Structure 1
């Protein structure tokens, strides 16, 4: 009997919990958003630099008949472009998965 009562209360508490992101719950949220935005900018600038350097290595390897250097340059270009895609799409990807999670939690 007591077990059923405790289970009913616990089920009622768990079923009634609703937590949403709170943008004013802690001090410094706006500064943290600015820091994350600045880090994204630095990441994108580094990706552009990586593409440029890797393209130069690729060109030097191709023109000096050095297939290993040329291959490393190609790989560097692809890695730098992948980093740019991840930096640029990170907010959209997180928001997408947040929405998926909310749809699962909502029923």
Structure 2
């Protein structure tokens, strides 16, 4: 059991940390993941455009169901764009949380 300087008990630390370059092909895997992220962002841009068009068409034609679906699609696409764009920062933030001990 680990005890900090303030006398509080800390969780057990097995001492394992991510090693950069530990496996062959890591650069290729990073390129593949980056490409998948790019394709996802491009698809979200298309989904956002289509959803906004459906929203506008439903609003101007009196189609309340189309308008509601366009709104939902726009919000979902915007949320996906936010998550795809921030994915690297989110993972970096939460992976560093375990290493900060006061």
Larger RCO (CA within 8 A; separation ≥ 6): 1
Equivalent position of 2:64 in the other structure = 67
Between Structure 1 and Structure 2, the one with more helix by share is: 1
Q: Which runs of 4+ in 1 moved over 3 A?
A: none
Equivalent position of 1:90 in the other structure = 87
- TM-score of the aligned structures, taking structure 2 as reference length: 0.82
Q: Count residues with an aligned counterpart.
A: 91
Asked which structure has the greater CA Rg, the reply is: 1
**Displacement after TM superposition at 1:53 (Å):** 0.3
Equivalent position of 1:31 in the other structure = 28
Following the alignment from structure 2 to structure 1, what is the Cα–Cα distance between the partners of residues 26 and 16?
A: 17
- TM-score of the aligned structures, taking structure 1 as reference length: 0.79
**Displacement after TM superposition at 1:28 (Å):** 0.7
Q: Pairwise mapping of residues 10-21 of structure 1 onto structure 2 (< 5 A)?
A: 17-21=14-18
Alpha-carbon RMSD across the aligned residues, in angstroms, is 1.5
* Alignment gaps of 5+ in structure 1: 1-13
Structure 2 residue 87 is matched with structure 1 residue 100: no
* Alignment gaps of 5+ in structure 2: 1-11
